[in-house]
Amino acid sequence: MVPRLKTALDGPLLALEQRILDRMPEIEQWLRSQWQEHAVPFYASVDLRNAGFKLAPVDTNLFPGGFNNLNPDSMPLAVQAIQDAVERVCADARGVLLIPENHTRNQSYLQNVATLASILQQAGMRVRVGSLLPDVKAPTKIDLPSGDALTLEPVVRRGRRVGVGDFDPCMVLLNNDLSGGPPAILQNLDQPIAPSLAAGWYNRRKSKHFAAYSRVAREFGELLDIDPWLVDPFFGVCGEINFQERSGEECLASNVAGLLERVKRKYDEYGIAEKPFAIVKADAGTYGMGIMTVRDPDDVIGLNRKQRNKMAVVKEGLQVESVIIQEGVPTFETIDDAIAEPVVYMVDRFVVGGFYRMHPARGKDENLNAPGAQFKSLAFESPCIPDLDGPAGCPPNRFYAYGVVARLAQLAASIEIEALDAAPPPAAVPAAVS
């Protein structure tokens, strides 16, 4: 069942959804043509925010870590889609080496790895899981709450190939976001790696992603003859930030002021009574770390020690040097009184499922990707199939709109990664440590 939305949606989004449904053939054709010009990411997940008056992505993950949160009914679609994805990378594929994050105790994440391995197996691949953890020196079996088990094996390099044990895979599938840099053991391989090493978070910047997204949204706006702001959050960037040393505060404050002003003008244009807010995020941050909600430029001046510590460091202890100031999109959706945001999963060009991320202790203007978040899988009656005769607001139709906006973000990620792939490669680092 689709979780019930607690409140009926108001005008602009319903109009947007209706436009998206009406123009479905043009949208699908346009997306097909885009995927002829750009390399489709192997997989991606996109966090969306549905404000009732706008629907926009707020984060695009190229190493999705929640396959276990998808509804089991979504699995056949994921299996079918991953066949296209694998064929694109390695037509001859029989063996896939899956490289996860360096977690050994995060059961939920490990369940994601097991689910992903199972999807690949069901698509006819041999799959083994190669760990980059120095501690994993021999095959290590980890029991999972589901009753499954996952065996981590040390990644072995032989010349220009990697594998585990005597397993020589056709391709390497990364489910590790490479926050710490591209591991030396994976550099200069003969085997294809998906996503490319350049797509790691050591190299990505949210601001580059959303700049690409804005261009995509503008083109999409022209296609549908709509204001691209309806699907695109405004943003600004401050480089040369040092939270510990309190440098860059002025840039932050003036960017926040300018952004809130721009958003206010849009709210006035559409008669929206909400108070604008901004989300300040580490430009290379993941895991919901290094994020704060800002309602006034003064909020970023004179941060206290705790706030500065929280913002200064992200995953794997990396210093934050640049931040993105993004228009806050309030989430309009609640499930059982908890604020909820949809997360859409894509494999190759296909939307294969999604879930709601909920947080009972967070507000509608706050980041939900935080400890205490819960997940509610979406067993859409028809996972990506709109009911063309139904009203725009009905759940399958809402999900089609979600799938379209998520695919716009996926396209932006593709354009972003193409630019990173074309740039000179960064220096190698030794195998990451956890």
Instruction: Give 189's contacts (C-beta < 8 A, 6+ positions apart).
Output: 160, 161, 162, 172
**The two three-digit tokens of residue 287, written as one number:** 């895991």
Shortest distance (Å) from residue 350 CB to its own copies: 6
Nearer to its own copies, 11 or 76 (CB): 76
Cα separations (Å) of 255 from 59, 194, 298, 367, 427? 20, 36, 11, 20, 32
Shortest distance (Å) from residue 383 CB to its own copies: 5
Nearer to its own copies, 328 or 386 (CB): 386
Residue-wise over 87-110: b if at least 16 C-beta within 10 A, else e? ebbbeebebbbbbbbbbbeeeebb
Shortest distance (Å) from residue 315 CB to its own copies: 34
Nearer to its own copies, 296 or 387 (CB): 387
Helix 107-122 × helix 75-89 angle, to 10°: 70
Helix 11-22 × helix 395-422 angle, to 10°: 80
Nearer to its own copies, 80 or 242 (CB): 80
Shortest distance (Å) from residue 93 CB to its own copies: 7
**Cα 1 to the center of its chain, rounded Å:** 24
Residue-wise over 143-168: b if at least 16 C-beta within 10 A, else e? ebeeeeebebbbbeeeeeebbbeebe
Nearer to its own copies, 33 or 244 (CB): 33
Nearer to its own copies, 58 or 411 (CB): 411
Shortest distance (Å) from residue 120 CB to its own copies: 10
Backbone angles phi, psi at 408, to 5 degrees: -65, -40
Nearer to its own copies, 129 or 136 (CB): 129
Q: Report which of 126, 152, 156 is spatially closest to residue 139, judged by C-alpha positions.
A: 152
Shortest distance (Å) from residue 25 CB to its own copies: 5
**The two three-digit tokens of residue 183, written as one number:** 């591991």
Shortest distance (Å) from residue 84 CB to its own copies: 7
CB atoms within 10 A of CB 42: 25
By CB under 8 A, name the binding residues for its own copies.
Answer: 24-29, 32-33, 36, 73, 75-77, 79-81, 83-84, 87, 91-95, 121-126, 349-350, 382-386, 388
